[in-house]
Chain A
Amino acid sequence: MAQAKQMKPTREKRTEFKFTRDLFDGIAKQNVVLMTGIVNAPVVIAATTFKKGVVIALAFAIISFLTILTCSFIPKKIVYTLRVIIYALVGSVYYIPTVLLLEEIFPLTVELIGIYMPLIITNALIFSKTESRFYLESRGRMVIDVLFFVIGFGAVCVVTGGFREIICFGTFAGFKILDISISAFESPFGGFILVGIMAGMFRALYNFMRNRRIKQNAEAQNIAAAGSVKAEGEDTHSPLPEHIG
């Protein structure tokens, strides 16, 4: 009996809630489009206008957030090979009210997005990031973390959609602002090339900022270290106590 008790699997302890820098990873360091590239199709193919970008971002946010939150209550005792089925089913259940709601607000846009709308339910944030990151955190921290990941995706989606609308049609959110039309950027190859270049530039900018921060921290540490050495030096060169002299 005691042996059986010992054999019982113990639940892994989740990390405690701490408001640390890595909580913002979803926006830049681990952005799902530009840094890790685990969610591509809706941005590359469907986000060709600002409005489409907004709709995809909203659908992604609602479906991913609710699915991840709901599935965090599924016991870990169920093996992952089977748990993914529940993730997919929960995602497709949340898809129903989400698409009905968005159809009420943006009726034509949802139709134009086509098959890329339901494909959101198979996104890698739900199937991969949950196991490697979200479900290892405390629930409060997980909620904030998922929110930042969703915001990171949404920002890229909206910016890409807006930019493509400007260069493809010369409009922004339906309003004419420029007299240009480079229709190639509306196509999948235009989307791939644009997102690839955006990802490269974003990574370059991120690396530049990180290196600068590391350099600044190192300099600050050097200054602090030099200050403490100087202070120690002053201590050692201090006049000898009177009784020694």
Chain B
Amino acid sequence: MDKLALFINAAMLAMFVENAIFSRALGTSVAFYASRKKESIVGLGLGITYVIVVSSFITYWIDGWLAEFKYYYVIMPLIYTVIISIVYTGSLLLIWRFLPKVFKSIKKYVHLSVFNAAVLGALFLNTVYHEDLFSYIGFGVGISAGFFIAVFFLHIANERLNSPLIPAAFRGMPIMMVFVGIMSLAFYALTGYNTGAAA
């Protein structure tokens, strides 16, 4: 029961307090890209979730072995990249072998859901905040779900934000950034952010 609580706590923390987009800006450009089409949201969301969860599981053991090494923080990106690359290659080979049609349709964009700041950032945050396996995996699931929620919000807003009512220079990325900023403020309010104005 305690383990389940750890898992849920870490997942909730990742989803709302450490939201990949609204609180950490991890994978923002990928989120903007994915928000254009409903199909890309599901595809990228699933891809990112899979890579983060599997990689989190592996990094938990690696962190345990190498945490004492003085220069671990310097070689950590290299080790994490190797882990992500192994997960990516292994999964691709399996898809290529057993689901060739799926492989054909995803091979052009699959790297977007693997080599992005959301995946690598989730692994770093996991190392910073957590110590047990269930928190690691819970955080991985939560950060992917948070990313999915954020992209879904962006998708809903996408059409309105590209309307002619928006000045031409602000249409597209600039107004999207402002929108993400306002959403980020809402998420901060949810967690009790204090600007210090009342003090």
CB B95 to nearest CB in A, in angstroms, measures 11
Give residues of chain A (54-90) contacting chain B, Cβ–Cβ below 8 Å.
80-82, 84-85, 87-89
Q: Is the CB of A200 within 8 A of B169?
A: yes
Q: Is the CB of B74 within 8 A of A89?
A: no
Q: Is the CB of B29 within 8 A of A195?
A: no
Give residues of chain B (54-106) contacting chain A, Cβ–Cβ below 8 Å.
74-78, 80-82, 84-85, 88-89, 92
Query: What is the total of A-B residue contacts with beta carbons within 8 Å?
Result: 148
| Residues in B whose Cβ lies below 8 Å from that of A38 | 29
Contact pick for A193, options B92, B168, B182, CB 8 Å:
B182
Contact pick for B180, options A93, A95, A192, CB 8 Å:
A192
| Residues in B whose Cβ lies below 8 Å from that of A45 | 24-25
Q: Is the CB of B115 within 8 A of A88?
A: yes
| Residues in A whose Cβ lies below 8 Å from that of B43 | none
Contact pick for A96, options B78, B170, B178, CB 8 Å:
B78
Give residues of chain A (109-129) contacting chain B, Cβ–Cβ below 8 Å.
115, 118-119, 121-122, 124, 127
Q: Is the CB of A122 within 8 A of B116?
A: yes
Contact pick for A189, options B85, B169, B182, CB 8 Å:
B182
**Total contacting residues, chain B, CB less than 8 A:** 55
Tell whether A170 is near chain B: CB-to-CB under 8 Å: no
Chain A interface SS verdict (over half): helix
| Residues in B whose Cβ lies below 8 Å from that of A225 | none
Q: Of the 9-residue stretches B8-16, B121-129, B139-147, which lies at the interface with chain A?
A: B121-129
Further contacts, 13 of them, CB under 8 A, given A45-B25, A89-B78:
A41-B28, A80-B111, A89-B85, A93-B78, A115-B125, A118-B124, A119-B26, A119-B120, A184-B195, A189-B22, A190-B181, A199-B177, A204-B167
Residues in chain B within 8 A of chain A (CB atoms): 22-29, 32, 74-78, 80-82, 84-85, 88-89, 92, 107, 110-111, 114-117, 119-121, 124-125, 128, 167-170, 173-182, 184-185, 188, 193, 195-196
Residues in chain A within 8 A of chain B (CB atoms): 36-41, 44-45, 80-82, 84-85, 87-89, 91-93, 95-96, 99-100, 115, 118-119, 121-122, 124, 127, 183-184, 187-197, 199-201, 203-204, 207
